[in-house]
A and B are shown apart, each in its own frame.
Chain A
Amino acid sequence: MNQLRAELLKIRSTRTTIGLLLGMILLALIFIVLTCTLSPMNQIFTEQDQVSLLSFGSIAGVFSALAGIMLVTSEYRFGTMRPTFLFNPNRSRLFASKAIAGLLAGLVFGVIAEGLTFAIGLAILEGRHVHIVMSGSNMTMLIVGAVVGTALWGIIGVGLGAIIRNQVGAVIALLAFGFVVENLVFGLLPSVGRFLPVHAGNSMMGFTGQHYLSGTIGTVVLVAWAVVLAGAGLAAIKGRDVQ
């Protein structure tokens, strides 16, 4: 618990997190306002159209993962891992604290981003007299899926940062995988690609294209990704010496 409080303070006490948060909000606002305002009527009237439009808040997953990466890699980059370990040599507990801190930060990111995009998007669509065809339960699934998914990306970021340690390397790995590799795999081999984390996260929010997993299985798959990466990150933290 002490270590968790320390990790949460680390997140709050530099400008990195607030920068990520502001960047995320800006991106989400620009996207949601532009797409909801400019999309032609015939592209926003089915339920899947509206789910896909209002799920843009899940972009928070990227920022949440970046915050998770920073939580580990900036300690290696600036050498604070040394005092951190000296004050808490129990590396399992330390890593668990970072993973939980990443999850909590992700939760905040997710609530802000999805809350903003959903509320603003819905308001614009209603302003254009678009008939909202999403059911209440689908709206709930979209919001909960986006927020929980974003929180899980926080853990994935912490795990990835512990495995790669080099800040730039970890960030590039995240972006390259999330934006390039995963889309390639999904495009070429959707039966495999749908099990990758971004697409599993999309199915959590109610994406129902022909290759998508069900919401439940998508949730299980993204949780499994978080668990596997956290496990690998823990092994890396425990096994490696600090220079």
Chain B
Amino acid sequence: MAVDDLSFTIEAGTITGFLGPNGAGKTTTLRMLLGLANPTSGHATIFGVPYTDLPTPAMRVGAVLEATDFHPGRSGRDHLRTLSRAAGLPDSRVDEVLGLVELTSAAKRRVKGYSLGMRQRLGLAAALLGNPDLLVLDEPANGLDPEGVRWLRDFLRDFASGGRTVLVSSHVLAEVAQTVDQVLIINHGRLVTESSLDALTMKATVAVRVRSPKIAELADALTREGLVSMTTNDHALLVHNATSERVGDIAFAAGLAIHELMSETSSLEEVFLDLTSGESS
């Protein structure tokens, strides 16, 4: 089962990262939410109703699932026009969104001559046609050069600052860490964590690794000083929220020899990996 009993709420005006390793069920979830795939049982709803029941879905949700969904022989502008007609929108709206994604000058060229970054922006333009409240992007940074990534980040920031909402999926937390406010982490089709990025960053704590021949006494001494420590597999102590200076001072005061002392910082990425690997065992 790719996705099971998954439900989440995202706040208006925020950018939410929808994270999980490859195969976690992110794309499946998005496809079901957007009416492209049917769940084997149950149903998927967005804004409280199935996507297919939204009267003009393009005006509520704009989505980009693949960066390359274009007929190579059609111009960028005509691609957008086929979609705007389906939604009953005027051609003037097509020209507006082309301007928003800075593609006006290339609009009449066929898509086969577009760079990946331009295709990405054309996809975004299609999603923006209906002026939606919610933007859903699946792995938007795949294959983008750093400049493209920064452009996208600024664009999404702008979009959300107007009170609108973005859901952006990725299998690499670092890729979206600078963009998102909230994170949803799923693994094996289930929600693992739903928190703000700040709360997640707090989990990326600083720890000190220390080895001593008298490990039990050292642990006691640290506990008396109010520090939390745990024994690792190779008989060292991992002391949370401490500096190596403080741990060294405490050991010296207790008269305990130290054979190793080093500070370790777990990154946000490690927190992400911890959260998503724990479920798989």
Contacts and interface: CB of A to CB of B under 8 A. Distances in A.
A242 B36 contact: yes
Contacts of B35: 85-86, 89
Contact of B70 (A6, A80, A89, A241): A80
Given A78-B70, A79-B66, A79-B69, A87 B75 contact: no
B87 A82 contact: no
A15 B73 CA distance: 7
Given A13-B75, A242-B37, A87 B86 contact: yes
B85 A78 contact: no
A241 B30 CA distance: 13
Contacts of A14: 71, 73-74
Interface residues of B, number: 33
Interface in A99-154: none
A61 B79 CA distance: 28
Interface string B68-96: 11111111001101110111100000000
Contact of A78 (B51, B72, B81, B87): B72
A13 B74 CA distance: 6
Q: How large is the interface on A (under 10, 10 to 19, 20 to 34, 35 or more residues)?
A: 20 to 34
A9 B78 contact: yes
Interface string B36-64: 11100000000000011010011001010
B36 A82 contact: yes
B71 A74 contact: yes
Interface string B9-50: 000000000000000000000010011111000000000000
B58 A86 contact: yes
Contacts of B72: 78
B36 A84 contact: no
B128 to A, nearest CB: 12
A2 B86 CA distance: 5
6 contacts: A3-B86, A13-B82, A16-B73, A78-B70, A79-B66, A241-B38
Interface of B: 31, 34-38, 51-52, 54, 57-58, 61, 63, 65-66, 68-75, 78-79, 81-83, 85-88, 126
